[in-house]
Amino acid sequence: MNSTKTSVIEELPMPSMNSAIVEFRGVSKWYGNVIGVNKLTLGIPAGVTGLLGPNGAGKSTFLQLATGQLRPSQGTVTVLGHRAWNNPGLNRFIGLCPEQDAFYEWMTGRQFIDMCAKLDGMSTREAADATAKVLDEVGMTEHADRAVGGYSKGMRQRTKIAQALVHDPLVLFLDEPLTGTDPLARRDLINIIRRLGASGKSVILSSHVLHEVESVTPHVVLINHGRLVAEGNVREIRDLIDAHPHRIAIKSENDRLLASKLVVFDDVVGVELVRAGGGILVETRSPDAFYSRLCSLALEHGTAIEQVESQDDNLDAVFRYLVNS
Amino acid sequence: MTPTTATTFELPVRLPRGFSFSACLTHFRVSVRQFVRGKRLLVLALIFAMPTGLAALARYYNKADARMVTQLEESMVFYMIPQALVPLTALILAGGMIRDEVEGQTITYLLIRPIPRPLLYLAKLLAAWVVAAGLTLVFTSTALIAIHWGEPDLWGTVIPGHALRVSALSALSLIVYISLFGGLSLIFRWILPLGVAYIVVFEGFCANIDFAVRRVTVLWYVRILAERWFGMHIDAWGIKLDEAPSATEALVTLATAALVMALGAALLFGTRELRVKTPDGS
Amino acid sequence: MPIFDQGYQHWQGAISGHGLRWLAITRQGVRQQLRRRRTKWLVSVAFVPAFMLAAFLVLWGLIEQNSTILQPIMGLLQSLPEEIRSGPKSYRTAIWTWAFNTLFDVSQFFVMLLVLAVGPDLISQDLRFNAIPLYLSRPIRRIDYYLGKLGVIGFFLAAVAIAPAVAAYVLGLAFSFDLGVLKDTWHLLVGSVAYGAIMVVSAGTLMLAISSLSRNSRLVGATWVGLWIMSNVTAGVLMTSVKQEWCPLFSYTTNFDRLRDELLDMPAAREKFLGLWKSGQNAAQEAVRPRFPFFRGRGRRPPPLSAGQTPPMLTTPVHLRFPLIWSVEVLGGLFVLSAWTLSTRVKSLDRLK
């Protein structure tokens, strides 16, 4: 396990499991013959939650249902205890950073966010103050007075997040906020999202970029084909997948000798030699027992361990397994 | 960074009552700015400038003809503007007022604001009407200037009198057309050809034949008001004042039609899903 | 790490010549348009005038044959002038010309509507969604792109204007049972195809040029409507107020009408009908002349017909009484302007955002 990762995750407030901020009860949504979400029942607690799924999984449909843009064909969607569809009063408390890259291109960033603030009901002075504050928060003060049409992708994403934040919502929905951004912009956006989570806002973040979701929150919701696949702490989800053996990569001074020692144990279901001195890949049903055994093996002659890495204790592995199963 | 404690709130949260008038006003202002930007305004201005250009040409070629002024006023101000330019302007503005936002994917920013959807629609409709009425006033005035150029009462009677009266009538017909085309644009994607067919066949043809069907055209009521209020009489209109509705009846009919269509469309907008296409094609 | 070419620019196999590359764009565009209900509906409705033309030509063919099939409607046919009943073949050319002219007159409305239906998206949507680099990064020249897009409009216009006219001609020929029809009316076939081709090129390039001016296809459509309707209104107003010979030129569709008039040789047909009408008038006047001996032999002839009494449909319409070359120049000028607009608006591999 990467110790740096652990400490980052532990910094963030863990979501409360008691009350759901967003609640889907038996929700289905179809477009003609195509199902967007399929009998989805789920409660998202306060805190930062990652919404994951492959293309066409229903993530955007989920977010549009939660933000009241779509009406559920079946079931009920409630956000902060109120019906989401066509409930303008609720919009005062939610913010959405939409997926589509669309603006009133002729406006400057400041004008655009100021307009959004005023559409949220703020007076001219309140809007100006809120705009300045949120521009500073997202790091766009320097570029705020240029037309949005001239912004880079990263600036546009920041501007979108800014318009979602300007009215200080309780819940923030971010639909693929990292798409199309360069690594630097992505890092900055992730830091912004972390700060939002740390400041007490509930954030629901939809993304394909799995390791970045993982770095923001351990609490994830996985959906596929419009259905809920898994929900909870990524490690807990992983632990529950008993049928799927854990894969552990080990490099030692003598890979073949270590492999021959490992195969005798019942919980080891497979050992693979990685080419060109890349170590061995072990599959085990009992990772805890395996790790405890590894220490004594490391002390034995000829099998000193140089490197150990768990390949499965990350979101990518969980995701691939669950989606493909 | 030291994490702060999570904000706590009780569920369900208390929702604000009513809506913000200033938010609606902001939406109205932004919509007006959208309508007067870019190529759309240029196209409308070019179309509306035609009567002025034609009037100038006609005056140039018929300097000695005294009847020319009456003929021009009749053809430009009482035919071309109310029968072609006004409905076409309404179609261009109202036909795209929601669809442009949907296709430009900016409708999302409006739908996630705490403004009731019907009010979003009505503010857009009002903005379209204001822009169209402004264009009509400006270009009706320029057309009348071109027609009456050189006359002594041009600035005393013609512009303040004729221009304002014609523009007022045009504004009234505009609100009806804009309500109609705005509502149709929510139902039909193909609003432009449909609107053209309506303007050419229904308003253009039916309004000019002495048959019951003319009573459902906007143009007929506008002409009745022109005759009753302002004494503008054109033989070709074929209006018999003793059989035609009174000015009040005509006004109430137009206002009711506009109100019903606008409110109906606003309610429809309030209940419709507006799906914005996302890159992954959902 | 080497960066390799994307697409098929590294393709080593055979690549076909440029001659038919535009066809791929046309095919895709046509398929896309045919998926829309409105296009299918419009094309179906646009065929109605062609069916009526075909039916009329078939009927005329049967009249020429003096066919017994026409027995049930013989009463109606009695109202035709005696000259036509006794020698229909001598009026064949005029009748066919008038019929084809009427078809194109009616179908012109549908042609303009079809251009409005299929045209605005062609380039404006490519500009909007930044798709032009996708085309031009392939071995496709700009001319291939234009021809491909023009082909989409051309397909539909040909479907409602050219193809029905040709099909109606063939049907009329078949029901005449007389190869002399071909000799008398071949100019209609050639004229119809030429007229259709001119409409495709002129209306097509103009629509493409307008489409390249904006990313908003609705605005493009509005501009087309403005051009079509307002140009007609403008010409009408000018003709009543300015009353100059050039006034009709302001109407875009009137220029097509003028060309069609020449291509189908309508003046000759009008001349033929005028002669028929005049002889009819003379016969009518003879019939009502008083039979008193007082007048017989006095040699008083009926007053000659004045030009003002001629029915308008038998003379060249007022709005077409200007030199043909003017219409050619107007349409040619519009074509040049459209081509120039296209060449400046669609640039190779531009960064369009």
Tell me the per-residue pLDDT of A183-221, one tens digit each, with 9 for 90 and over.
Answer: 888 888 889 999 998 888 899 999 877 777 888 898 999
Q: Which amino acid is located at A79 in the chain?
A: V
CB B78, CB B165: distance < 8 Å: no
- The predicted structure's pLDDT at residue B187: 92
Peptide bond into B12 cis (omega under 30): yes
- The predicted structure's pLDDT at residue C294: 42
Say whether pLDDT at A7 is over 60.
no
Q: Of the ranges A68-82, C69-83, C134-148, which one carries the lowest mean pLDDT score?
A: C69-83
Inter-chain residue contact B39 with C214, CB threshold 8 Å: yes
Q: Which residues pair with A42 in a beta bridge?
A: A24
Q: Tell me which H or E stretch contains C253.
A: helix C252-263
- The predicted structure's pLDDT at residue C193: 93
Strand order from edge to edge, sheet including A219-224: A94-97, A171-175, A202-207, A48-52, A219-224, A227-233
Question: Chain C, 102-161: which have a CB under 8 Å from a chain B CB?
Answer: 113, 116-117
Mean pLDDT calculated for residue range A103-125: 95
- The predicted structure's pLDDT at residue A19: 77
- Confidence bin at C194 (pLDDT 50/70/90): very high
Q: Which residues in chain A are contacts of B276 at CB distance < 8 A? A: 69, 98, 100
CB C77, CB C63: distance < 8 Å: yes
Strand order from edge to edge, sheet including A280-284: A268-273, A280-284, A246-252, A305-310
Note whether C221 contacts B: Cβ–Cβ < 8 A: yes
For B209: left if phi > 0, alpha if psi spans -120 to 50, otherwise beta; the answer is beta
**Who has greater pLDDT, C296 or B255?**
B255
Q: Which two tokens stand for residue C275?
A: 């002669």
CB A229, CB A223: distance < 8 Å: yes
CB B125, CB B182: distance < 8 Å: yes
Chain B interface disruption, residue of A119, A159, A194, most B CBs within 10 A: A119
Most confident of A242-251, B193-202, B232-241, B244-253: B244-253
Note whether C40 contacts B: Cβ–Cβ < 8 A: no
- Confidence bin at C10 (pLDDT 50/70/90): low
- Nearest-angstrom CA–CA distance, A288 and A267: 10
- Nearest-angstrom CA–CA distance, A174 and C122: 34
Most confident of A151-160, A214-223, C182-191: A151-160
Q: Is B272 exposed, middle or buried (0-12, 13-18, 19+ CB in 10 A)?
A: middle
Say whether pLDDT at A134 is over 90.
yes
CB B254, CB B216: distance < 8 Å: no
Q: Which two tokens stand for residue A307?
A: 């490197």
- Nearest-angstrom CA–CA distance, C325 and C290: 50
Mean pLDDT calculated for residue range B60-74: 75
In 10 A of CB B35, how many CB atoms?
A: 24
- The predicted structure's pLDDT at residue B3: 34
Q: Minimal Cα–Cα distance from A98 to chain B, Å? A: 8
The residue among C27, C25, C98, C31 whose CA lies nearest residue C60 is C98
pLDDT in tens, C281-306: 766 655 555 444 443 444 444 455 45
- Nearest-angstrom CA–CA distance, A20 and C210: 54
pLDDT in tens, B157-188: 877 888 888 888 899 999 999 999 999 999 98
Inter-chain residue contact C222 with B192, CB threshold 8 Å: yes
- Nearest-angstrom CA–CA distance, A279 and A307: 9
Mean pLDDT calculated for residue range B260-273: 95
- Reduced to 3 states (helix: H, G, I; strand: E, B; else coil), residue A75 is strand
For residue A14, what is the nearest residue in chain B, using CA coordinates? B6
Inter-chain residue contact A47 with B6, CB threshold 8 Å: yes
What angle is formed at CA B80 by the lines to CA B79 and CA B82, rounded to 5 degrees?
Answer: 70
- The predicted structure's pLDDT at residue C8: 62
Inter-chain residue contact B280 with A55, CB threshold 8 Å: yes
For helices C324-345 and C180-211, what crossing angle results, to 10°? 40
For residue B76, what is the nearest residue in chain C, using CA coordinates? C237
- The predicted structure's pLDDT at residue C313: 64
For A67-123, where are the alpha helices, taking DSSP H only? 109-119
Question: Long-range pairs for B41-44 at CB < 8 Å and ≥24 separation?
Answer: B43/B92, B43/C219, B43/C222, B43/C223, B43/C226, B44/B89, B44/B92, B44/B93, B44/B135
Q: Of the ranges A11-25, A279-293, B246-260, which one carries the lowest mean pLDDT score?
A: A11-25
- What average pLDDT does chain A have? 85
Q: Which residues in chain B are contacts of A47 at CB distance < 8 A? A: 6
Quote the strand ranges of A191-298, DSSP E.
Answer: 202-207, 219-224, 227-233, 246-252, 268-273, 280-284
Note whether B187 contacts C: Cβ–Cβ < 8 A: no
The residue among C328, C198, C217, A192 whose CA lies nearest residue B193 is C217
Give all chains having 3 or more CB-to-CB distances under 8 Å with chain C. B
Q: Of the ranges A45-54, A170-179, B230-239, which one carries the lowest mean pLDDT score?
A: B230-239
CB C42, CB C167: distance < 8 Å: no
Say whether pLDDT at B193 is over 90.
no
CB B116, CB B90: distance < 8 Å: no
- Nearest-angstrom CA–CA distance, C103 and C48: 10
**Who has greater pLDDT, C303 or B262?**
B262
Give all chains having 3 or more CB-to-CB distances under 8 Å with chain A. B
How many CB pairs (< 8 A) connect B and C?
82
CB A134, CB A159: distance < 8 Å: no
CB A68, CB B112: distance < 8 Å: yes
Q: Minimal Cα–Cα distance from A176 to chain B, Å? A: 11
Quote the strand ranges of chain C, DSSP E.
Answer: none
Q: Of the ranges C81-85, C204-208, C340-344, which one carries the lowest mean pLDDT score?
A: C81-85
- Confidence bin at C280 (pLDDT 50/70/90): confident
- The predicted structure's pLDDT at residue B131: 95
Q: Of the ranges A183-187, B137-141, C328-332, which one carries the lowest mean pLDDT score?
A: A183-187
Inter-chain residue contact B196 with C225, CB threshold 8 Å: yes
Q: Which one of C223, C230, C242 has the shortest CB-CB distance to B58?
A: C242
Q: For residue B259, how far is the Cα from the chain centroid?
A: 14
- Is the complex ipTM higher than 0.95? no
**Who has greater pLDDT, A15 or B102?**
B102
- The predicted structure's pLDDT at residue A183: 84
Q: Of the ranges A34-38, A251-255, C14-18, C130-134, which one carries the lowest mean pLDDT score?
A: C14-18
Q: Which amino acid is located at C332 in the chain?
A: G
Mean pLDDT calculated for residue range B136-156: 87
- The predicted structure's pLDDT at residue A6: 31
- Reduced to 3 states (helix: H, G, I; strand: E, B; else coil), residue C70 is helix
